[in-house]
Structure 1
Amino acid sequence: MEFPRQRLLAISEELGRAELEALKFLSLEHIPMRKLEAIQKAQDFFEVLQEKGMIEAGDLSFLKELLYRISRIDLLEAQLGSSREEMERELQIPGRARVSAYRYLLFQLSEDISEDELKSFKFLLGTELPKCRLNPKTTMLDVFTEMEKKGILGEDNLNILKSLCAEINLVLLKRIEEYELNLFGEEEMVITEEHRGRTGGPEAHARWRPSSVTADSPASWNEPSQLEAYKMTSRPRGVCLILNNHNFAKAREAVLEQKNLKDRTGTDVDAAALTRVFSKLHFIIKEYRDLTAEQIRETVNIYRCKDHKDKDCFVCCILSHGKKGIIYGVDGQEVPIQELTTSFTGQNCHSLAGKPKVFFVQACQGEACQKGVTIETDAGEQDSSVETDARFQLDCIPAEADFLLGMATLQDYVSYRSPRQGTWYIQALCQHLEYSCPRGEDILTILTAVNQEVSRKSCNQNAEKQMPQPSFTLRKKLIFSVN
């Protein structure tokens, strides 16, 4: 027994804390969770393996597999005399692998999940798992372990995990589906494949091909597809900043004569839709709720000062009350939209120079329409300054290149919001992004479809309408790829 114990000591001295946690996680089918949680040192872990008969003088196959699984090939070769190729051949033999495919899948997912994605998992699981288990030191393996304890994750119970991955990173979802395909075969996956075909999942993009150019097309014509596209390959793509104002009690308490701003019931439906869609498009979601005008400025300044050099894009979604050219903070104070967009020009934010800056603004831009009975408008009550402001032409988008501003409505007009279903504009925007981005459509094509859908809606018997208005200084195609 002296030979393996010497080797075990040498191996234990080389393993870091994270690697020990990975070994413990991969061994959960063989050692009780309660016993593993008490282990703090690699030597103690190996002692437990020996007690369970998982390591013996003449059989170190499980230890070899563990080291192979965590990619410590150096220890595998130097201490146990095996190679990567040898282990690959060995584990291809049916019945030889002792780490289950399910547990190895979870380990691989944990290795590929970024810090921001881990935060998203913790946030989405906030109501399912104990808060004390979701502290900053909690790893993804810890999250998986807690999900198993709660009974919401298991070898035959991957639905919640798949739903989370669909919200956070479609690549992770695809990994799970590939695992299921290998495990259950193609027949078991038919329903899933049909569902993706209807909802425009990642495979829908793989099936879609642009129509070919006809043989008699003049060679001198430039096809639209030849237009250069912005780079959109970084992971994550960038930040999607959501400024979500719902509670306007501060404005009402201030007894401002010119504003009677109601709470924006339904705005959280919009924020959830934006979070879902832009997470799928590989953006880091940063949502801020109920900001005063000054807090809006401070928040925007924080992201203006950040280093975006490793990102491809910046997106800002503003959900609030407003009037022409401005949005309201929850204190009823005004913030010019132009002030927010100009913060991200190349001069003010160098790391975003030459990269697309996208703003979606859900807010009224005037009082031209009366609100319906069951649908509210995103504006305060009529005040004496609206008509004067309405005559003033305010350019909200900087003259500098690479900006896109999507406004929920035309200047001088209201936009509509359902307390239950969210706003016409944001809901249409999210639906079309979710459907069209996997098909490779550019943002201007998508926004045209949004215009068409919203313009067809009517708020009441008077057939009052809403027409969104995009404006842009983009120089290239902007395509939010899902891959």
Structure 2
Amino acid sequence: MDFREILCKISEEIDSQDLTALKFLCLDHIPLRRQELINDTLKFFEILEEKGLLEENNLFFLKELLYHICRKDLLTNFLNTNITELEDQIQTKRQVSSYRVLLFNLSEEVAKFELKSFKFILRNKIPKCKLEDNMTLIDIFIEMEKRGILGEENLDALKEVCDVIDKTLVKKIKDYELTRVERSIERGPVESQYGEEMMTEQATIGDFPGEEVQDKAYKMSSRPRGYCLIINNNNFQRAREEKPEHKELKDRKGTDVDAEALKNTFKELHFEIVTLQDRTAKQIHQDLQSFQKKNHEDKDCFVCCILSHGDKGTIYGTDGQEVAIRDLTSYFSSSNCVSLAGKPKVFFIQACQGRTTQSGLTLYTDSKQEREFLEMDTSLQSECIPDEADFLLGMATVENYISYRHIIDGTWYIQSLCKNLKEGCPRRLDILDILTNVNAEVSQKIDIKNKGKQMPQPKYTLRKKLFFPIN
């Protein structure tokens, strides 16, 4: 059987109860609002494919889901899975959160007569009208999450109820908390981590329809928080020598000021900095592939800053070869970089995205001048990030336009970005608010000689608030 036939066969074996369980386990990947559109298993598989979580050559996420809902028969009969090997893989590269697995397992152990008691005890926290007779325990968990009384690190209310119903359930919750603390100790000080995460939770908005507040922010407490890769292209002599048509790719004076500003800023934000200088197109691909292959399990985020010449939807290597921004970001999709699945991937691109002319003695542009007018009917920049969650792409300029670089002070965009990160992060502004401030600041600048303006543009598929706490 081919890939699609296998999915069809599996879907025939999945009943409504199993589908409910699969959807619940995927809540960190597929928001509840989107899940309301899923009324059968094939639609569920379709959305997993859209998210990059299910591919013909990468069935791990599906296997993990089937394992957690105890459908080992489907794993062996249709996916030819060695269960022991899969259990080992889940230990090292799990994509379903242990928190979701805990709640699902608890729901499996609460008997129907205990469910009535569960609802009764919760009436002091949830209105009776919201605790309908036909609600399952999974439905109740979702309602608790909506109301902010249940979360990955907010299990007290759940323990209180379980303590009355079945004390063995409380032990399971405490075992989960202990395991979580042990993982946290490996990453950094527990006190610091919990303080930051509690602050983050209080200021976040959820995906649940009809609800105002929900604990939804990306975890950002590991030390270091992740890698910050800075690719700084300055010397384009090779491009000019090898191809006459690249004679307009001047050396990017002032870019080292940007690189240093980014280094200092993200170091203060607790990132591990890696700076690479003057990279060809091939080397840029190799650099990103190298970070794609790293294990990011103990990291919370990945940041990549690219400073170079550019054109529509692309940046240039120092050899004058184009690199599609889409190719670079796609290395970090969930299927291509499992250890970053569900975590924010942030790209800041300082480069032009269109045709420009030289802009005076002290202001240069980060674009190759065009020699002929080209009509472009499609928007490449709109496809610069994968069609899945957790990506943020900050572009120095909107499509078709230039971006400015001062030969002494650096670029308008990067300097404003670093300034606003340093000012906004201590005030607990989330990244989109910070980038809005960058837009406002850069848009006010003007190249007096050529009456040039610049408008940055963030594009994102973030599912949660993204904060970079200073402490």
TM-score class, shorter: 0.5 to 0.7
Change (3 A) 1:300 1:428: same
2:220 — aligned with what? 232
Taking the TM superposition and a 5 Å limit, the aligned residue runs for 1:96-245 are: 226=214, 228-245=216-233
* C-alpha deviation, 1:257, in angstroms: 1.9
1:418 — aligned with what? 406
Taking the TM superposition and a 5 Å limit, the aligned residue runs for 1:276-287 are: 276-287=264-275
Match of 2:374 among 365, 368, 387: 387
Q: Deviations over 1:48-87 (max 9, x none)?
A: xxxxxxxxxxxxxxxxxxxxxxxxxxxxxxxxxxxxxxxx
User: Is residue 342 from structure 1 mapped to residue 330 from structure 2 by the alignment?
Assistant: yes
* C-alpha deviation, 1:387, in angstroms: 2.1
CA contact (8 A) 1:227 1:477 kept: no
**Partners of 1:345 and 1:255 in 2: CA distance:** 34
Change (3 A) 1:376 1:448: same
User: Is residue 352 from structure 1 mapped to residue 340 from structure 2 by the alignment?
Assistant: yes
Report the number of matched residues.
270
**Partners of 1:367 and 1:275 in 2: CA distance:** 29
**Partners of 1:257 and 1:419 in 2: CA distance:** 23
Match of 2:305 among 317, 332, 350: 317
CA contact (8 A) 1:451 1:467 kept: yes
- SS of 1:296's equivalent? helix
RMSD: 2.8
* C-alpha deviation, 1:461, in angstroms: 4.2
User: Is residue 304 from structure 1 mapped to residue 292 from structure 2 by the alignment?
Assistant: yes
* C-alpha deviation, 1:256, in angstroms: 3.4
Match of 2:436 among 429, 432, 448: 448
**Partners of 2:446 and 2:318 in 1: CA distance:** 28
1:37 — aligned with what? none
CA contact (8 A) 2:359 2:450 kept: no
User: Is residue 409 from structure 1 mapped to residue 406 from structure 2 by the alignment?
Assistant: no
CA contact (8 A) 1:369 1:413 kept: no
* C-alpha deviation, 1:222, in angstroms: 5.5
CA contact (8 A) 1:240 1:286 kept: yes
- SS of 2:323's equivalent? strand
**Partners of 1:381 and 1:461 in 2: CA distance:** 18
**Partners of 2:407 and 2:401 in 1: CA distance:** 19
What amino acid is the match of 1:419?
Answer: I
**Identity between Structure 1 and Structure 2 (%):** 58
1:197 — aligned with what? none
CA contact (8 A) 2:395 2:456 kept: yes
What amino acid is the match of 2:219?
Answer: K
User: Is residue 479 from structure 1 mapped to residue 457 from structure 2 by the alignment?
Assistant: no
1:262 — aligned with what? 250
2:260 — aligned with what? 272
User: Is residue 361 from structure 1 mapped to residue 349 from structure 2 by the alignment?
Assistant: yes
Query: Structure 2: 5+ residue runs without aligned partners?
Result: 1-187, 189-201, 204-208
Q: TM-score, normalised by structure 2?
A: 0.54
**Partners of 2:210 and 2:389 in 1: CA distance:** 26
CA contact (8 A) 1:258 1:383 kept: no
Change (3 A) 1:356 1:253: same
Which structure is larger by alpha-carbon Rg, 1 or 2? 1
Q: TM-score, normalised by structure 1?
A: 0.53
CA contact (8 A) 2:356 2:367 kept: no
Match of 1:294 among 259, 275, 282: 282
Deviating 4+ runs (over 4 angstroms):
220-223
**Partners of 1:419 and 1:370 in 2: CA distance:** 13
**Partners of 1:305 and 1:311 in 2: CA distance:** 14
**Partners of 1:340 and 1:264 in 2: CA distance:** 22
**Partners of 1:251 and 1:368 in 2: CA distance:** 18
Query: Structure 1: 5+ residue runs without aligned partners?
Result: 1-170, 172-209, 212-219
- SS of 2:304's equivalent? strand
Q: Deviations over 1:296-340 (max 9, x none)?
A: 011110000000000000000000000000000000011000000
Change (3 A) 1:277 1:450: same
